[in-house]
């Protein structure tokens, strides 16, 4: 058997192992889809033994809530970077809607804060003229216009 063919067979075997492990992890994640739709991430950790560094070792880290208690949990993925990448993509896809909702909420909060700042600035600008901003209305603006028209010599 040639060296290249042997390497190809080994790689094929490794790919099959990764595929089997991915389907097992996927089943665990999908069985708790509501939980993983809002949390969970793939983490890489390293271990040190006798002064030597080993890793990365991958795991899916998440919290399980029991009443008011949060318990940290993990699904061990091993050292396979392709497996970790596939699980990370699965989690990203599951969490896509939640993250989009959070982004929209953040943008809405920023827009409201910007609008409030603009209204404060408008109040400061119009106050010396005797105009008040009440909600979306300007009170006293007609009086200021009449005053300026009556004092206008043209």
Domain ranges of the chain: 3-151
Distance between terminal CA atoms of the chain?
Answer: 104
Q: pLDDT averaged over the chain? A: 90
Q: What is the mean pLDDT of residues 140-145?
A: 82
Tens of pLDDT, residues 62-98: 999 888 999 999 999 999 999 999 999 999 999 999 9
Tens of pLDDT, residues 104-119: 999 999 999 999 999 9
Q: What is the mean pLDDT of residues 42-46?
A: 96
Residue 126 vs residue 7, higher pLDDT: 126
pTM of the model: 0.72
Token digits of residue 144 = 């200021």
Measure CA 129 to chain center.
Answer: 46
Residue 142 confidence class, pLDDT cut points 50, 70, 90: confident
CA dihedral angle for residue 87, residue 90, residue 94, residue 98, rounded to 10 degrees:
70
pLDDT of residue 110: 98
Residue with tokens 């993509």: 89
Q: In the predicted model, is pLDDT for residue 1 greater than 60?
A: no
Q: What is the mean pLDDT of residues 6-16?
A: 72
What is each CA distance from 26 to 64, 85, 105, 148, in whole angstroms? 17, 13, 29, 73
Do the Cβ atoms of 74 and 119 come closer than 8 Å? no
């Amino acid at each position: 058997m040639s060296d290249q063919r042997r390497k190809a067979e080994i790689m094929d075997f490794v790919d099959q192992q990764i595929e089997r492990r991915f389907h097992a992890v996927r089943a665990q994640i999908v069985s708790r889809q509501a939980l993983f739709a809002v949390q969970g991430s793939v983490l890489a950790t390293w271990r040190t033994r006798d002064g030597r560094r080993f890793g990365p070792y991958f795991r899916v880290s998440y919290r399980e809530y029991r009443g008011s208690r949060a318990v940290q949990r993990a699904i061990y993925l091993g050292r396979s970077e392709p497996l970790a990448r596939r699980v990370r993509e699965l989690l990203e896809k599951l969490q896509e809607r939640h993250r989009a909702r959070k982004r929209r909420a953040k943008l809405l909060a920023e827009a409201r804060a910007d609008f409030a700042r603009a209204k404060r600035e408008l109040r400061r600008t119009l106050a010396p003229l005797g105009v008040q901003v009440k909600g979306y209305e300007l009170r006293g603006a007609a009086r200021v216009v009449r005053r300026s028209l009556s004092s206008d010599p043209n």
